A and B are shown apart, each in its own frame.
Chain A
């Protein structure tokens, strides 16, 4: 229960500091503040997808309905954060480079992730039998997940990018952010991650209860 308040407090603090401290990157200016939000969102999007793939594998092994529920919920949250990441990314792109969208490889990757999530739910919607739905969407989640390394690691190296590449870690693997920026950034990353797991946990408990009610064991 007190997690709720803790997260609320932490997030408020982060938001406050993200706007009242000097902008993280001087060349880009004020718009660079979005970095505190955009990167955590993108990170959570990928993490949620990984969780979905993990629960999908678990489901295929043990066939417990609860694992499919978790995979679907992780995907729902992932979709939300993916959407947010795309939005904040597009805003940043417009302010900095003049266009909302220009198919820079990271933008392309987040777009593809959006499509994958969409496809996942389209598939779930197209299958009536719940066991079949769980099995087939699990397979798709895993198959789609297998393409993610190509998106995240290989593609950006094949195509010239507009993304600031030195903003987090430069070639010498040293942090290029100043100490204050680093604090706010990692705090933001932590709070977002905690919030994600908090929401996911609530969804998971709801599902467990729902399954128990259906099975008549409550």
Chain B
């Protein structure tokens, strides 16, 4: 901690220490490359990991800038917790569910690239000229009693109301997550383990794993199209080699497990 504070004191007299400069020039391309890579990567998992890269680099920057608290928060909370959660979700949803990357709007990409680069250059040149003359000051006062206390002081005095109101944001987020994701079971709908396992092994039920997520198949046949969320069939779920066909009821029924050859004879 005290070492960092010294670093901060060093930074105050407007000369950048060599170590800081070296770290910056190593990490800055990584941060930027990570950000660009995140946008360009085709795989959602890669995107998330590239974002982690960028965030870690930023965390180091914060520490270098004599803001150890925010640096640690960045690494622990953002990178460690939130991004990992992101990764879990992506894995759960299935990392193969990729969006179509074919751009259907003419000129959209070109315009986006031009505007994006233009905007970056505009702000970049502006800031380069603007910040060049800036003299950094106030760091000593801010970190006088240590970085954490400095932040705490602001957070619990001047910005106390904003801080408290943030709780409203969190409550809303929690309520929103529940609203959008939670399906409440009716009293009769909720089945305990005993009933479930009994149901599973009743005759006529296929106890093996059901078809994979995102498919919504009505049977295990490769020739049966998957069902979309709106209840219609999608032809694209069936391989082109297999002619799509409407299965008869007996064909579509899950295969029996009790060794009977005839599906219909399940008792």
Q: Do A and B come from one complex?
A: no
Binding site for A on B (CB under 8 A): none
Residues of chain A touching chain B, judged by Cβ–Cβ distance below 8 Å, are none
